[in-house]
Structure 1
Amino acid sequence: MTDIRNVDVIAPNFKRRLSGVTSTIVQLVPAQVKLGLRIAVLGPGLPDGAGLPKISFGALTGLWRAPAGRTHRIWHARRNNEMGFGLFLRGVLRMPLKLVFTSAAQREHSAYTRFLIRRMDAVIATSDRSASFLKVPFRVIRHGVDLDAFHPPQGHDDTMEATGLPGRHLIGCFGRIRHQKGTDLFVRAMIELLPPYPDWTAVICGRATASHAAFADGLKAEIAAAGLSERIVFMGEVPDVKVWYRRLALYVAPSRNEGFGLTPLEAMASETAVVASDAGAYAEMIAPGETGAVTPAGNYEALRDAIRPYLADPQMTARHAAEGLALVRRTFALENEAKAVNAVYESLK
């Protein structure tokens, strides 16, 4: 555990199960540490190691005394319960804290959430769309991707051949298997599109929780009925999804709704073209006709029609993959996000 006396910023994570917010913390905090920020995480559901300095709840008693040379610490919340706890520490226990909130919500906030947000010292929006629902001053800081972890293919293990699957080109859809993620839209498109393109195989990486098992079983039954079980393959939860991004020629993100959504950036950083819905911030990541395509969320026909040209023209797919890699390196490096967030902290001195 990190000594609270050496911590200037606390990033709480008050959720045990893995979520997009948790993944953001796991990626961003080590990048902030590399820039010299004295930050620590707090809460369950965070992996050991991974460059994550941690403090315990017991260490919070040390918050009554500000770090040497400072008048306060930063409490950076990303959920309502984390904002509420920060307000309790500052308002009730009178601990010297400045409160920061990052909003990724793509909807109108509840009255309670608006109440909490109005009491923050600084607010960050992860996209222009999430910013449009805020009623307070904010700064847009888009998420970045770790370009060391997500990178183009480097060897045989990063190729389609290494999978042992049939065909020459791989198309994939990653994430939890559920209606919200649009897994059914992807499967439906693959059943319709793959037969005329024998060089392509589709993979779906991710798990179906118990409440979504029947949904996943129904999709597998549809694939079997179409005689495509060898070409549309459910991989389950793979040990390392990063290598699967590198094996793909095309990644599809068909979500019906998202908070932000990092998977298109992870794919593009792996030099993979992307077709995505306009859920979350996907549309702000992709240059249509250059790095991929964007379709209305939940619109099956638009998604299918956007995928088809990539299957028909692998050379175009490769060009868009290369352009996507260049775009991510210019605009969506994780280090840029870390620098921008750190600058918000500094503005609160």
Structure 2
Amino acid sequence: MGLRPRMAISDIEVIAPHFKRRLSGVTSTVVQLIPKQLEAGVKISTLGPGLPDDLPKLRYRDLLQCWVRPSSGKKRIWHARRNIEMVAGIFLRDVLRMPMKLVFTSAAQRNHTDFTKAMIRRMDGVIATSGRSGAFLEVPHTVVMHGIDTTLFHPPRTNDDLFSASGLPGKYAIGCSGRIRHQKGTDLFVDAMIALLPHYHDWTAIITGRVTAEHEGFHAELEERIAKAGLTDRIVFLGEVDDVKLWYRRFSLFVAPSRNEGFGLTPLEAMASATATVTSDAGAYAEMNVSGSTGMIVPAGDGDALRNAIEPYLADPGRAKRHGENALAHVTTHFEIGGEVKGVSAVYEATLAGER
């Protein structure tokens, strides 16, 4: 896509601030959701750095015009997803007295700090991205789980979508995607592969994702373990790839071994690509994966359980194919991004109507 024309501030009814330059799970959510909200008629614009040029953007100086309501006559929605964005919204509404309603989406699955709780209590509407994250909220809220754009994430369609087109060894690929760090459980995946791949010669393990400076030592240690096991050509770090969607289609099995997560979109992205998944129970994984049907779920941080859940798929690639087909049907039925758009819009409407 090219640059999207800037929207007139008088037309904008929802502002989605994004006050973080680096890629994160929140970024992925915004990038996928906002185009679908626009298609559904939501008059929404982003504000802040770190987002693609094809999303509508406000300039910070445009906020000076927010004392005037949009042409619809409604108050604007300020949809925050981080603490700093809640702070900014409270300042605009309560200090500058701009006609705004504040909505916050919470993905955290931990007890909030007193500061965060105080800000959440000042929101006009609150969304939890899963039942588990909602359990940590002390205010009325609506659960709206993230969805996936199945026009972007889809099963293999061409020969290039097949693992054989990668030029890497083996008949089947088992993948793990995400930032390379302890929190994501990359080491648990590597240890499982070191234990299993010597017994299953048709499989190659692929790890995609960025290594930030503070985790370079962690990454180097993993590469050293792999080299000592003599598996350098079968456990491959690709780094941050240009198009991870292609790799989801090439994987026969996807593993999400996170020790903790906010929500965690990667299993849904893999499932929409007709790829079976083995996940921990971190984040919302247990609410999206169906153990024994679309994949398997294991306790977060349990390396032995992870290895034992993966092995039946390596021993029987047909099981991976069957569960991948089930995963595609499950996502199509329950996790289409259109459902998320409708759920978020319902919260906007209730918030404007004065309901929590």
TM-score by length of 2: 0.96
Distance in 2 between residues matched to 1:116 and 1:270, nearest whole Å: 38
- Identity rate of aligned residues, in percent? 62
Distance in 1 between residues matched to 2:328 and 2:317, nearest whole Å: 17
Q: Which residue of 1 aligns with 2:313?
A: 310
- Give a deviation string over 1:166-197, Cα, whole Å, max 9, x none: 11110010111111110000000000001111
Distance in 2 between residues matched to 1:348 and 1:165, nearest whole Å: 52
- Give a deviation string over 1:16-37, Cα, whole Å, max 9, x none: 1111111111110101000011
2:218 counterpart of 1:206 = no
Q: Which residue of 1 aligns with 2:42?
A: 37
**1:106 is matched with which residue: 97, 105, 109?**
109
**1:4 is matched with which residue: 5, 9, 12?**
9
Distance in 2 between residues matched to 1:328 and 1:20, nearest whole Å: 19
Matches within 5 A, 1:100-139: 100-139=103-142
Q: Which residue of 2 aligns with 1:176?
A: 179
Distance in 2 between residues matched to 1:29 and 1:224, nearest whole Å: 43
Matches within 5 A, 1:147-226: 147-226=150-229
- Give a deviation string over 1:299-329, Cα, whole Å, max 9, x none: 0000000000010111111000000000000
Post-superposition shift, 1:147? 0.5
Aligned residue identity for 2:52? P
Cα pair 2:13 2:74 within 8 Å, conserved: no
**1:246 is matched with which residue: 237, 246, 249?**
249
SS of equivalent residue, structure 2 residue 56: coil
Q: Which residue of 2 aligns with 1:74?
A: 77
2:33 counterpart of 1:20 = no
Aligned residue identity for 2:224? A
Unaligned runs of 5+ in 1: none
Post-superposition shift, 1:273? 0.2
2:68 counterpart of 1:65 = yes
SS of equivalent residue, structure 1 residue 69: coil
SS of equivalent residue, structure 2 residue 194: helix
Distance in 1 between residues matched to 2:316 and 2:236, nearest whole Å: 22
Unaligned runs of 5+ in 2: 1-5
Distance in 2 between residues matched to 1:109 and 1:191, nearest whole Å: 38
2:286 counterpart of 1:264 = no
- Give a deviation string over 1:55-107, Cα, whole Å, max 9, x none: 11100011101112323110000011111110110101110000000000010
- Give a deviation string over 1:106-165, Cα, whole Å, max 9, x none: 100000101000011110000011000000000000000111110000011100110111
SS of equivalent residue, structure 2 residue 15: strand
Post-superposition shift, 1:210? 1.3
Distance in 2 between residues matched to 1:230 and 1:16, nearest whole Å: 34
SS of equivalent residue, structure 2 residue 283: coil
Distance in 1 between residues matched to 2:249 and 2:73, nearest whole Å: 45
Q: Where has structure 1 moved over 3 Å in runs of 4 or more?
A: none
Distance in 2 between residues matched to 1:180 and 1:117, nearest whole Å: 26
Distance in 1 between residues matched to 2:216 and 2:138, nearest whole Å: 40
Distance in 2 between residues matched to 1:216 and 1:86, nearest whole Å: 38
Report the aligned-residue RMSD. 0.7
Distance in 2 between residues matched to 1:3 and 1:268, nearest whole Å: 38
Distance in 2 between residues matched to 1:26 and 1:227, nearest whole Å: 40
Matches within 5 A, 1:85-100: 85-100=88-103
Q: Which residue of 1 aligns with 2:3?
A: none
2:322 counterpart of 1:319 = yes
- Give a deviation string over 1:226-283, Cα, whole Å, max 9, x none: 1111111111111110000000000000001100000000000000000000110001
Aligned residue identity for 1:312? A
Aligned residue identity for 2:242? P
Distance in 1 between residues matched to 2:343 and 2:240, nearest whole Å: 33
SS of equivalent residue, structure 2 residue 61: helix
Provide the aligned length of Structure 1 versus Structure 2. 347
Distance in 1 between residues matched to 2:213 and 2:75, nearest whole Å: 44
